[in-house]
Structure 1
Amino acid sequence: MSKAVKHPNKSDASPEKSLESKMGPSPETGASAGETAKYIAEFTAELSYLAQRADLGLLSYLLDMARLEAIRTVKAQHEKG
């Protein structure tokens, strides 16, 4: 099985602060939109892999689409800031 994806939190201060300075924090979580999208991209990649291994083709495809949208969002946020 693949490795677990670590959720960004306050203990990872330096990467979070650099992203927040570029993209601004989310009021609800303190995480920036870009950081949240990056986490979603990583997590959906893991879930898609699991779905594919379990022969869940449509679910794997949908998770890949969510991953690609998250990556697009990260790039768009990066270009803004």
Structure 2
Amino acid sequence: MLEEFKNFHKRLKCTMIYVTHDQKEAMTLSDKIAVMDKGIILQYASPIKINNKPNSKKVATFVGNGIVLEKEMSYM
């Protein structure tokens, strides 16, 4: 079904909004993704950017399956 949807989108060549709670599906189908929480867009970017550079701890936790590494900065 995902492949059919992608082909349909390519044929129409128009903007489409697809709502899903399945991260894999969103990452596969999308050029851009809006990560939302309680109706507020937390980040709108490409799947690669959201995965590699989440703009908040909340987005990082969501796309990283709860894995957030805390780091401490030290200056010399």
Same fold (TM over 0.5): no
Higher strand content, 1 or 2: 2
Q: Could you say which structure has the larger radius of gyration?
A: 2
TM tier, shorter chain?
under 0.3
Higher relative contact order structure (alpha carbons within 8 Å, sequence separation ≥ 6): 1
